[in-house]
Amino acid sequence: MILIILWLIQDLLTVFTGGGMQIPGLFMLGLVYRLLTDESNDENVNLWGIWSAFAGGILWDLRWIGIPGFFTLGYVVVVLAVIQVWGIIPPQSRNSGTGLIVFILMEISQLIPPLLPVLILGGAAGWQYFLTQQIYSLPAILFCIYFYNRKAKNRM
């Protein structure tokens, strides 16, 4: 339910800015945060993450891009990367010393999806939007890392 709300907030912010300003991928941050904070290590959670990324990407593509697949591919690639990297780390060491890894995974969630359309379609204006989005995404990423670290301390 929270992912739907994050997707709608991201969409509304994009509407309010007239599409002229790149809004951070709140949906992807929420999805990656959920995958990183899940303690069950259940395959169903991973499958849920992949399907959620697919659905959110298709909706975003149909709403804003018009060509299904650009953000969908990016979203699914990010979720698969997060699942793979997070699966390598033993569950005992996920609470401490993983701040840099969490930052990298959160940044990947903001880096790959908007980069794919720029690489495929090209153009100098696309790079400007991409760099602007990266600047606007940093506070949201730091906010998620703060909550992750707080949750990790409570688990210890």
Residue 124 makes CB contacts below 8 A (sequence gap 6+) with none
**Phi and psi (nearest 5°) for 41?**
55, 40
Which whole number is the average pLDDT over 117-135?
76
Give me the residue label for tokens 């979720």: 79
pLDDT in tens, 72-112: 999 999 999 999 999 888 877 777 667 888 999 999 999 98
pLDDT for residue 133: 83
Domain ranges in the chain are 2-11+26-155
* pTM, two decimal places: 0.89
Would you say residue 27 has pLDDT above 90?
A: yes
Angle of helix 43-60 relative to helix 2-16, nearest 10 degrees?
20
- For residues 4 and 37, what is the distance between their CA atoms, to the nearest angstrom? 18
